[in-house]
Amino acid sequence: MTTTNAHHPAFSAIRSEFIEALNVTVQEYEHKVTGAKHFHIASDNDENVFLVGLKTVPTDSTGVAHILEHTVLCGSERFPVRDPFFMMIRRSLNTFMNAFTSSDWTAYPFASKNKKDFRNLLDVYLDAVFFSRLDPLDFSQEGHRLEFAEPTNSESELTFKGVVFNEMKGAMSSPTSVLWQALTKYLCPSNTYHFNSGGEPSDIPDLSYDDLMAFYRKHYHPSNAVFMTFGDIPAEELQAEFESKVLSRFERLDDQVSVPNAKRYFSPVRVEEGYATDEAKEDGSHVVVGWLLGESIDLAQQFEAQLLSSVLLDNSASPLRRALENSELGASPSPMCGLEDSNKEMSFMCGLEGVKRDNAPQVEALILQTLEDIAENGVDQDMVEAMLHQLELSQREIGGDSYPYGLQLILTALSTAVHQGDVIAQLDLDPVIDSMREKVLHEDYIPTLVRELLLSNAHRVTLTLSPDEALETRRNQAEKDRLSHIKAGLSDEKKQHIIERSQALKARQEQVDDMSILPKVGLEDVPARLPEYENEKVAESLPITFYPQGTNGLVYQQLVTELPALTEQETQHLPLYCYLVTELGVGEQDYLAIQSRQAQVCGGLGASSSIRPELIDKQRVAGYFVLSSKALVPNAAAMTELMAQTFNDVRFDEAGRIKELIAQRRARRERSITGQGHALAMSAATSGMSGLSAQQEAWGGMTGIRDVIALDDALKADANAMTTLRTTLESIHSKLAGAAKQVLLVAEPHHKESLLEAITPVWHTVSNHEQVSHFSLPAIDQNVKQAWVTATQVSFCAKAFKAVSGEHPDVPVLTVLGGFLRNGYLHRAIREQGGAYGGGATFDASCGAFRFFSYRDPRLLETLADFDASIEWLLSSEHSHDALEEAVLGVIGSMDKPSSPAGEAQSDFFQQLHRRSQAYREAFRAGVLAVTIEDLQRVAKLYLTKENESTAVVTAASNKAMLEEAGFEICTL
């Protein structure tokens, strides 16, 4: 990679450093006039990334920073359209577009592989952030507003509405979110972290438009900003854009935004709060102990804290996690366990969930006693070395499977950049790891850290968060009382003002903007073909497929076993088998020893299943069990040996360990509902459309959550339940041992021969067989109408229609239809007018289902009616070619979105394995590009009909009677 330190005259070059482990050069610049920092991560990667971050420091819980993040994207000086952010999503080939509000910063990132598209987005983002219009009506839409239930009837009930208001109602329905906010409130009693930066629903209506404007003027200034970029566009070119579009119009701001350190306690604090639940279980409390540590921008302190956290909590062999997992005081370790190092001051937390409220003192005592024991007796040196190994592995790994790789690097350094720390040191971990390697040679190093950071640290908070089944009722009543009080004080003039503002907002939401003022890419900018990935088949006892990819010194390996025929009970427990198989003992070694071995030689082991329908019939499936790992190349043989031994000799006799893992699984699944309610609703809605969709609901949907709760309860109540479960797991394992197998290997090309030489002898120990039976699922074709009631302040709605799948020519058309309905109708009706955080439509080719959904939605039946109304809009309105092109671009963009080098190889391998050949994928792409408006209307008439319809919602118990009256089957956990 060749880079220069050339820069724009408006900037000063501070320094530049090549980071070998990442194969990038990090360049630091400062704008001469405003003082704005620019960090450029120069790379040969053609996926360019931009982020502008601003230090945002709320002084209350009204959500001002969060609401501002939303409102900033609703139109700007050069682009005075109502919704440029969502419009640009449709007019772009972006690989990522979003905005984030953290506790002390707000960031606006995007990424694209297309240079024209990158510059288009840069234009819009720069203008949006620094020259936002901040229309009062947009504040009403995105933040909060008063509105009558019947918008033109001042005698009807008064309500609060707003996208962020409803988003935070959904977010704060999660006990984990409540736990985090409560703990940080007490850990940070005197600075910005004391407040909920996202906004407390009860406080959000206190925010005024004037408050929003004052916050914008203070915080959204280049002197308070950091620009961060990644990719192969030179820094000089980017700076020319920054200067001409933004920076030349500003002077330096003397009043610097800062975050003071929290005032410290002189003795520990113990507090108790509640969270809303439908059923207050005796053992439903969370008990978490938290410590406030040093500053995160002090790298020595940060990495000492990271190492200590890893040693204490990384895996089940870690001493503090082991104590928590084995304790009878709670169901499982708290989701809060670990180090939080993104704030200016770090915090370390640990605890248990599923605790009896009266046992909180014992949980605290268990944690402190475990730490005392570590301080007194130390820890195994092998564990410390293993954690350093994990740091090195994570440093070298090229990500990109969730966020673009460049954005991952930028986000790693963002908090350090915002708080004026050393960004280059934050990204270049090798010197830190080398320094730590010297320090850990002293056997008292970890005990000393335990004493200094934790045991001798008086700034400690013990929080007990207990279930309160009356909390939601009290909260709802308080909101009703507040609204009643407001309404009672309204003059006729103020009532009319509310009605007129509602009408003005509705008119604004329905106005047709001049889209031509926004830049765009077109179908002519779409790459002609999908990339092809080189691979080589090696004929061994277990066939090996090698993909040469740039993995920066890592090797990725998967053992792929064809799923044999399984009984109904075995099929139901297949995901549980996958979850358990890498967490148990192997051969003569118990699970603690295996956890330690995994940490020492690889990045852990994982197991999963890959099941897809056949292209010719969605009721017929092909399935594979996949055992995966990754390691530094020198550890390839040790990793392979561990994988082979795990597959051959995993033991299911560790009953206590299995019970603990299932309790942890239950806790995670129950916590997940309010975060992924839309996915759960869609899963329920499609559950009658094929054998696979029914099984996916039974595995991962609301039914699956109910089943893991029942299994956990059975294992606690009935000794025979473990015997039955163990028999099922061993039967699955035995059948997999007798099935056909192959290996996937991904690494840099020059490592191929040495890797094959290292791993081939090991794989000879795993028997390969000719497949005699094949996994299958019973065919299912039925409609459903379900309502799942749970503890949530908002709803998640879904409607699904049976359609076609596989190679049918209507599959590309249905895929484009999802984006077309979202862009043209659903976004406005469900998000802007309805107040939900999100909504849209997608096509699920795996079960041939066209699905509508809403996310964190204050409405229910009205949203379901909007789904139907979107179909009527499609069939009865005139539609432009530009709207079609935007929907097509969206599909193509998602197809072309890059992954990590290893991820792309793995995806290609499994596409081929499931007979989704390159020719099939190219034909689908061609079908997408050929879709017409008439095609969209035709498939809507053909498939989106009442006889093909299924509906499901996840909602609050208070809606039960209304849903029963509407004909829903009521389901509970």
Instruction: Transcribe 429-494 into DSSP letters.
Output: -HHHHHHHHHHTTSTTHHHHHIIIIIIT---EEEEEEEEETTHHHHHHHHHHHHHHHHHHT--HHH
Cβ 916 vs Cβ 549: under 8 Å: no
Q: Which residues contact 151 (CB under 8 A, 6 or more apart)?
A: 499, 502, 503, 506
**Averaged pLDDT, 731-745:** 97
The helix (run of H) or strand (run of E) holding residue 24 is strand 24-31
pLDDT of residue 511: 87
What percent of the chain has pLDDT above 90? Answer: 89
Cβ 817 vs Cβ 841: under 8 Å: yes
Cβ 284 vs Cβ 467: under 8 Å: yes
pLDDT of residue 300: 86
- Determine how many CB atoms are found less than 10 A away from the CB of residue 707: 19
pLDDT of residue 116: 95
pLDDT of residue 429: 84
| Sequence spans of domains, the chain | 33-174+185-257, 269-402+421-468, 536-763, 785-972
What percent of the chain has pLDDT above 70? Answer: 100
Q: What is the C-alpha separation between 702 and 531, in angstroms, rounded?
A: 38
pLDDT of residue 130: 98
Q: Which residues contact 590 (CB under 8 A, 6 or more apart)?
A: 654
**Averaged pLDDT, 479-505:** 95
**Averaged pLDDT, 259-264:** 94
What's the CATH fold of domain 33-174+185-257? Cytochrome Bc1 Complex; Chain A, domain 1 (3.30.830)
Pairing of strands 536-538, 460-468: unpaired
Q: Does the pLDDT value for residue 3 go beyond 60?
A: no
> How does pLDDT run across 564-591, given as a tens digit for each residue?
999 999 999 999 999 999 999 999 999 9
Q: Dihedrals φ, ψ of 291, to 5°?
A: -120, 140
C-alpha to C-alpha distances, 902 to 161, 389, 551, nearest whole angstrom: 45, 20, 7
Architecture of the domain made up of 785-972: 2-Layer Sandwich (3.30)
> How does pLDDT run across 650-671, given as a tens digit for each residue?
999 999 999 999 999 999 999 8
Cβ 45 vs Cβ 178: under 8 Å: no
Q: What is the C-alpha separation between 29 and 580, in angstroms, rounded?
A: 49
Q: What is the C-alpha separation between 27 and 39, in angstroms, rounded?
A: 6
Q: Does the pLDDT value for residue 2 go beyond 50?
A: no
pLDDT of residue 4: 64
Q: What is the C-alpha separation between 764 and 633, in angstroms, rounded?
A: 20
Q: Which residues contact 177 (CB under 8 A, 6 or more apart)?
A: 171
The H helix count followed by the E strand count for the chain is: 35, 28
Q: Does the pLDDT value for residue 386 go beyond 50?
A: yes
One CATH from 3.40.50.2300, 3.30.830.10, 3.30.420.40, 3.40.50.720 for 269-402+421-468: 3.30.830.10
C-alpha to C-alpha distances, 490 to 202, 207, 447, 504, nearest whole angstrom: 20, 19, 64, 20
pLDDT of residue 372: 98
Cβ 290 vs Cβ 320: under 8 Å: no
- Determine how many CB atoms are found less than 10 A away from the CB of residue 735: 19
Q: Determine the 3-state secondary structure of 952 from DSSP.
A: strand
pLDDT of residue 403: 87
Q: Determine the 3-state secondary structure of 400 from DSSP.
A: coil
Q: Does the pLDDT value for residue 1 go beyond 50?
A: no
Q: Does the pLDDT value for residue 506 go beyond 60?
A: yes
pLDDT of residue 731: 97
C-alpha to C-alpha distances, 601 to 355, 636, 676, nearest whole angstrom: 35, 8, 34
Same fold, 269-402+421-468 and 536-763: yes
Is 0.75 surpassed by the pTM of this model? yes
Q: Which residues contact 671 (CB under 8 A, 6 or more apart)?
A: 174, 175, 176, 335
> How does pLDDT run across 839-856, given as a tens digit for each residue?
999 999 989 999 999 999
Q: What is the C-alpha separation between 105 and 99, in angstroms, rounded?
A: 11
Could you tell me which of 407, 518, 478, 312 has the C-alpha nearest to residue 50? 407
> How does pLDDT run across 334-364, given as a tens digit for each residue?
999 999 998 999 999 999 999 999 999 999 9
Q: What CATH code is assigned to 536-763?
A: 3.30.830.10
Q: What is the C-alpha separation between 167 and 201, in angstroms, rounded?
A: 9
Rounded to the nearest 5 percent, the helix, strand and coil shares of the chain are 50, 20, 30
**Lookup: tokens for 721:** 């339940």
Least confident of 435-439, 617-621, 942-946: 435-439
> How does pLDDT run across 812-832, given as a tens digit for each residue?
999 999 999 999 999 999 999
The beta-carbon contacts of 614-618 under 8 Å, at least 24 apart in sequence, are 614/806, 614/915, 615/805, 615/806, 615/807, 615/915, 615/916, 615/920, 616/806, 616/807, 617/806, 618/690, 618/692, 618/805, 618/806, 618/846, 618/847, 618/848
Instruction: Write down the mean pLDDT value for the chain.
Output: 94
